[in-house]
Every structure is written in C-alpha cells, then in structure tokens.
Amino acid sequence: MVLAIVCPTPARAAASRWRQVAAGGGRGPDGVSVARTKRRRRRRRGLAVGLVLALVIVGLGGYAYLDITDQAPGVLTDDPPWPDADPFPDPASPTVASPAEAPGVDPDAPVPTADALAALTAPLFEDARVGPTPGVSVRDVATGEELYASSATNPYVPASTLKLLTGVAVLETYGDRHTFTTEVVGADDGTITLVAGGDITVAADAGDPEATIGHAGLGDLAEQVATELLAQGRTEVALTLDDTLFTGPALAPDWGEVDLAGGWAMPIMPLAVNIGIVDGVTRRSSDAALAAAGDFAAALAARGITVTGDVTRAARPETATVLGSVESAPLRDIVAYMMQHSDNVLAEVLGRMTAVQTGQEASFVGAGIAVLDVIARLGVDVTGAQFQDTSGLSRDSTLTPRMLTDTTVLIAAGGRPELLAAVQALPVAHLEGTLADRLGDTDAAGTLSAKTGTLPQVVSLAGLVTTSDGRLLAFSVLANSFPPGAAYQARVAIDAWAAGLAACGCS
C-alpha cells in the first residue's frame, strides 16, 4: 500500500494514476474498462478542470515556467523562436494539494507491441532535425518489461533529464521528510558562527512555513540568537561563517560566463538566500553564502545585536553552544521545486548533499559519483554513465536512455513510496512547469508527465505517459549532435513522437 501522495499542483492526473497502480492497479472511480470514448471524455473533463486551475495559478504569478536550460544562450534558429521568459522562476512555493481524482489505469489495458512502437518511432529516426540515431527506451510500468529500445544502452548527454536521477538519489539517501538545518553556535571567546547546512532556500528575514523557497528565515534564526544573547547581557558579537560543508571548485569546468550571466548557474555553496537569486539583475549571487551571512548580520542588528567588524570565514569551533537553528522545507518539497522549475543550482546542491551523507567528497566529481552509486544500489544498470555535475548543465555528463526508464519504473511501480516525490513532481504536458507550453492540442496534454532537457545540441524528454488504450508507460528519448541552432526544431520532432506515444492504440 502507498501512503498519501503530496503533489505540487491540484490537478495531477498522472499522480493519481501512479497511486492507483502502486496500490494494485484497481479501477478508477468512473470504471476504466469501459469503451475508449468514455475514457477520453473523462480525460478531457479532468483536463478542462486542470487548465482552469492552471490559469488561476498563472494569474497569481507563480506557475508556468520554461526549463531554464531550454532557454540557454546559443540556441539559435530561423524557425519559430523560443518563448521569451525570465530566466529565474518565481521563488514562491509550488501549490501543494491532494491530487484530483482522475480515471485510473486499467490493469487489463492492451500492452503496445514492439512492432507497433517501432513503426511509431521510425519517422523520428528519419527526421534530420534530431540528428543521427536518437536513443529511445519504452517500458511497461506494471510489468517492467522493455517494450521497445533503440540505442538504449548507448551513452548520451542528458541535459536536465539528469535531474530525475539526482532527485531519486537524494530522496533515497535522506528520506522524503528530511530537512536541512542552518544553525548558529557560540564559542567561549564570544564569537558566534553561522553554520551552513545545505539549505539554499532560506529567506533573508522571516520564513514562511507554507513555502518551499523561503521556508526557513534568517530573521527567525536571528530572533532566537538575539534572545539568547540579550539574556546573557550581550549586545555585540563577532560573526564568522562556516561554509566548509562543500569542497572543490565552486564552478564546473565547462560552465562559462554565459551560464553565469544568464542565471543558469552560480558558484555552488551550502547556504544561500532565495536560491541565490538577486533582485533586479539577471545573474545570481557570486558569493551566496557570504551574502546570506550579511543578511543574518542585518537581521541581528534589527533585533538589538551589533556585529562588530566584517563577517569572516572560519570553521565552527570544536566546542560550541547552539544558540539557534532553523529547518528547511521537507526534502520532498525541495525536490518537487527542483523538478518543476529545472533549477540547476538547487540540483547541484542536492547532489552535493547526497555526497555528504554517503561519504563522498562534496564536490562536483564527488556528487556525480554519489548519485551514480545510489542509483546503482537501487538495482539500475549505470554502465556507460558518468556525471560531471548533477544538474545536466555540463556537456560532459552522460547516461543511457535505459537508465532513465529503469529508474522511472522503479519509482512509478509503487514499491518505493519514499521516492515518489521524484515522479510526482514531473511537469504535466500543457499544464505546468517546464511542459506548460508544450504538447497542447495532442493526446499527451494532461496524460504525459516528464522531465525536460535542452542544451545547444541536446534535447531530451523522460517520464510517464498513459496511452489511449489506458496503459501506463515509462519512456525516454535523447537526441544529441543535431545541427547547430536546431534545438527548437529537434524539440518539436521529439514532442511529435511523444504525442504519438500518448495517442497509441498500439496493441
């Protein structure tokens, strides 16, 4: 039996289907074994409700965002342009609600045949827009059987589909209810130290217990510390910052100035306010941890405690007293935000926190090793994979299409409820997140949920789809090395294939 699923949006047909499959494949409340036309009417009814809810959330200013790497500089084309978008997502938390009831998945629904899937995929291989030999893998969630594969064990640059594996790894390592702690300790010499614990979502002042970004607040932490210091009769302190949790270079070797200028990356640190986003500029903070320490000093001053001198960096004393602490949102919510908004910086921090907990070096290299090790321990074959980062922004990371579908089936089949957040948060086609503006007016709208990925010569898509016959499938498709400037057209071609898979009466 699967525990109640927390979803980041109120109309998640796919999440409801996963819940029912995991519980044993029971029929939906409207009966899923009736004629296909009745299923489609119910689907359209649910989609209409979802669209209304989505429009409401858009009106509130916190909903449909594009994959930040989908907007990466260097993706040029004379064909229809990329949609304009602010490179930074609204830091408001995704709406959390119980999933709306939706038609269940028929356990007796026809399984697509290999020949039918091959015929469906043939036009993709003949399409010059996707370059030579894209990799494809399609698996049946109920049985785990691989129904179709082409180049599925070859290594490909994954772009942001790598985040699916990072989300799974960190959830497996910590558990979905884990929180990251930011604390302040005091030493005998009167110095206090702000200790970074891996939370880059803190608010500069008061936190919001209903939010994911800004859940913990440095103002709340300052209130605790000021209360303790004032009780000791102290109104002045020296402040140091301990951000030694992470090691190694703060920037990946192949991240360039264009990634920093566009806000797709920043130096990776274990503490930041608002995931490093700086109001009024396009790039993120160049020293997010020190900037957060400055915000904390200002919060102390507002509460009657003066910080003397400049904030300096120093490891916490071996002997120290905890003066205050604040906790992040639960990890499942952080992973959901990372998946919905495809946030590279958050993905890199989650990768490094996986390294911290598993005993690897908390660097880019160590984080990549840690994520791969965790995925391998879950029983997924990681042959051919190497991770130079854990966000997919690096052009040097590789994985196989089969790795993505194997991992998706492992979670969606329902045997590991603590990992469900990694697929619950997958954006739903034409409804939310990085798929909000894709696959409209197709059978995939509202029935396909997937992680997107785009770099200048990489387009990828991996997730779940329910066919028109009612069969739940895991899929992945990765295209590399198409002509420069053709990423938009490659994405159009892959979306057409995904829409065909959703419409599949492929038995």
Residue numbers annotated as active site: 160, 163, 342
Give the C-alpha separation, 283 to 420, whole Å: 32
Q: Which helix (H) or strand (E) holds 307?
A: strand 306-307
Q: Of how many residues is the chain composed?
A: 507
What angle do the packed helices 344-358 and 364-377 form, to 10 degrees?
Answer: 70
Pair type for strands 312-313 and 321-327 = unpaired
| Alpha carbon distances (Å) from 473 to 192, 366, 465 | 54, 33, 5
The CA angle 409-413-415, to the nearest 5 degrees, is 115
Name 284's bridge partners: 277
DSSP labels for 165-234?
A: HHHHHHHHHH-TT---EEEEEE-TTS-EEEE--SEEEEBSSS--TT-STTSSBHHHHHHHHHHHHHHTT-
d(CA 252, CA 250): 7
Asked if 241 contacts 311 with a C-beta cutoff of 8 angstroms, the reply is: yes
How far lies 442's CA from each of 11, 76, 108, 257, in Å? 18, 26, 24, 38
What is the crossing angle of helices 114-125 and 487-502, to 10°?
160
